[in-house]
């Protein structure tokens, strides 16, 4: 599949996401609600918030990503366009990569852009802000790519969202550990390039392998 087909597909999916404003805002609203509830639950003490800030922000980002995964392929599956792409001879792996990119642009990139405000709200020490943004910039695309594998496996199932969560959460744990470790090291003035390097390596591996896994999962769901 050439760029002449992929670019219109990218524009189409972004336009559809823009038209579904409620679905577009759902991950962000979920993120803000989760982050806002923690100070109410544990207390507004600056030291308490600073200690849990990175974990809260990253867990909220992870959950917000999962919330929007179920619809990644579902509309195309239900209207038959996904099956048409599969039988047309076009590369399902490239289509899957475009879908994952759109998901990140809609659900992941806004989280990265909002993260400085969330860090201020949660009283994250200033030294950890750069590491937080970097970890989210490297980690959220990987979340979208790995989550797309689960979405492809469950697209043909009724109420597949519950199973989807069970499938993707174990894949997300290493990303969560590396990201929180990087930010915690940064706030303690310790080196954190190693953690960010592993996140970058994970992103490269996901970009290389996940589209093929998504394509295989879609073919399995279409059978």
pLDDT on residue 4: 57
pLDDT on residue 147: 92
pLDDT on residue 116: 92
Q: What is the pLDDT along the chain (223 residues), one digit of tens a residue?
A: 445 556 777 787 778 777 776 667 788 888 888 888 887 777 767 788 888 889 999 999 998 888 888 878 887 777 777 777 777 767 788 888 888 998 898 889 999 999 999 998 888 888 899 999 999 999 999 999 999 999 888 888 776 567 888 889 999 999 999 999 999 999 988 999 999 999 999 999 999 999 999 989 888 877 7
pLDDT on residue 23: 67
Inter-residue contact 132 to 119 (CB < 8 Å) = yes
The parent domain of residue 171 ranges over: 3-222
User: Count of domains in the chain?
Assistant: 1
Inter-residue contact 27 to 65 (CB < 8 Å) = yes
Inter-residue contact 133 to 115 (CB < 8 Å) = yes
**Cα 74 to Cα 1: distance, rounded to the nearest angstrom:** 22
**Cα 78 to Cα 80: distance, rounded to the nearest angstrom:** 6
| Count of CA atoms in the C-beta half-sphere (13 A) of 139 | 31
């Amino acid at each position: 599949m050439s760029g002449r087909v992929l670019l219109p597909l990218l524009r189409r999916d972004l336009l559809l996401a823009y038209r579904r404003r409620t679905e577009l805002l759902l991950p962000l609203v979920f993120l803000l609600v989760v982050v806002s509830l923690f100070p109410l639950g544990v207390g507004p003490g600056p030291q308490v918030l600073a200690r849990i800030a990175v974990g809260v922000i990253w867990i909220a980002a992870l959950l917000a990503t999962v919330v929007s995964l179920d619809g990644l392929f579902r509309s195309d599956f239900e209207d038959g366009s996904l099956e048409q792409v599969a039988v047309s001879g076009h590369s399902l792996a490239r289509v899957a990569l475009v879908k994952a990119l759109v998901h990140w642009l809609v659900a992941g990139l806004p989280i990265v852009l909002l993260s400085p405000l969330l860090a201020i709200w949660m009283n994250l020490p200033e030294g950890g802000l750069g590491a937080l943004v970097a970890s989210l910039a490297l980690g959220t695309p990987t979340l979208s790519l790995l989550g797309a594998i689960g979405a492809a496996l469950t697209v043909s199932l009724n109420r597949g969202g519950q199973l989807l969560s069970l499938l993707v959460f174990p894949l997300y744990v290493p990303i969560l550990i590396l990201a929180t470790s990087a930010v915690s090291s940064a706030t303690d003035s310790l080196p954190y390039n190693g953690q960010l390097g592993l996140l970058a390596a994970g992103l490269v591996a996901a970009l290389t392998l996940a589209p093929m896994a998504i394509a295989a999962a879609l073919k399995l769901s279409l059978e």
